[in-house]
Amino acid sequence: MSEVVTGDAVVVEVRVAQMPSRAVAIIIDMAVQLPLLIAAYILLGTFAAISDPAIFGAVMIAMLVLVTVAYPVIFESISRGRSLGKLVMGLRVVSDDGSPERFRQALFRGLAGFLELWSFSGAPALISSLISQRGKRIGDIFAGTIVISERGPRDTTQLIVMPPRLASWATTLELSQLPEEVTRAARQYLVRWHDLSPQIRHEMGMRIATQAAAFVSPAAPAGVPPHAYLSAILAERRRREQLRFARQAGNGLPPQARPQTPYPQVPQPQAYQAGPYPQPQAYQPPGAPAPEPPRATPGGFAPPQ
């Protein structure tokens, strides 16, 4: 996962495409382009017998540029960042701020791709992708783009939901000071919640919740368990990000980053201690048996005074 900062200064997480999937996408595109080049060469061979060699050379160069450069530029411009290979592999090219790829950026990538992929057999692109933390090739660096994956083994954002009993309280939270490292730790804790032993689950939840409480206000209601407290913070943070991001085009982002309908407001309950809080959802592949219910953990989270 990587973070992009939108034009509204909103941090959104996206899944950066890995080297193997990008390589397969390039191979698929080349498998389409090479037959076109061969067919063009055969057709122009007949034309060369009745034309001037200079004209034949110029036409051949034009066909080479048309197939190797115009192909990715046209496809990525029309489909908003996806060539045929990227479409098959579930990849998309977006700007560094998460917005859809523009024609100027597609043109930069196409021209650089002719040198990287065709002239030097992909060596510059491979070296640049290995050095870059976001897997950028030279064309991505100059164009200001990043290749993301719209597919993943699980959608972790859907595992973190707002506890209905805390929805009204969460709308009053001040989250601007919450550090990203604490947010990431809370997200990983909630995703792995069902895999942890009850003791580790409680100790880790108390530690992360205490860290988050130092930057979040107002304090949590009495008796709220750590997982419910952290779920409310992350769900409210995601809801606010989606509302801000809805002001600009979001078609270039993966489904988990697109604006969604905010959760409905729930009336303020009389007592937060009454009744159990919903537990974090566990990721279940299709057809997998339901997990056994976890054991109860001691006490609720008491924020520092």
Domain of 276 in residue numbering reads as 155-305
Instruction: Say whether both 242 and 195 belong to one domain.
Output: yes
Instruction: Say whether both 142 and 182 belong to one domain.
Output: no
Q: How many domains does the chain have?
A: 2
Instruction: Say whether both 200 and 124 belong to one domain.
Output: no
Both tokens assigned to 215: 């930057």
Instruction: Say whether both 58 and 159 belong to one domain.
Output: no
Instruction: Out of 120, 149, 178, pick the residue that ends a domain.
Output: 149
Instruction: Say whether both 170 and 227 belong to one domain.
Output: yes
Per-residue pLDDT of the chain (305 residues; tens, 9 = 90+): 555 444 444 445 567 888 889 999 999 999 999 998 888 888 877 776 666 777 777 888 888 888 899 989 999 999 888 899 999 998 989 888 777 888 999 999 999 999 898 888 889 988 998 898 888 999 999 999 989 887 754 445 556 888 888 888 999 999 988 988 888 888 888 888 877 788 888 888 899 999 999 999 998 888 888 989 999 999 998 888 878 766 554 554 555 555 454 444 433 333 334 345 666 655 444 444 444 444 444 445 555 44
Q: What's the confidence (pLDDT) of residue 156?
A: 52
How many residues belong to the chain? 305
Instruction: Out of 149, 170, 205, pick the residue that ends a domain.
Output: 149
Instruction: Say whether both 41 and 161 belong to one domain.
Output: no
Cβ atoms of residues 237 and 174 within 8 Å: no
Instruction: Say whether both 113 and 244 belong to one domain.
Output: no
Instruction: Say whether both 116 and 190 belong to one domain.
Output: no
Q: What's the confidence (pLDDT) of residue 108?
A: 92
Tokens 């919740």 -> residue: 209
Instruction: Say whether both 185 and 52 belong to one domain.
Output: no
Instruction: Say whether both 257 and 302 belong to one domain.
Output: yes
Instruction: Say whether both 100 and 17 belong to one domain.
Output: yes
Q: What's the confidence (pLDDT) of residue 292?
A: 45
Instruction: Out of 97, 130, 149, pick the residue that ends a domain.
Output: 149
Q: What's the confidence (pLDDT) of residue 50?
A: 62
Closest listed residue to residue 216, CA positions, set 195, 246, 191, 236: 236
Max Cα-Cα span within the chain:
91
Gap between the Cα atoms of 163 and 264, Å rounded: 11
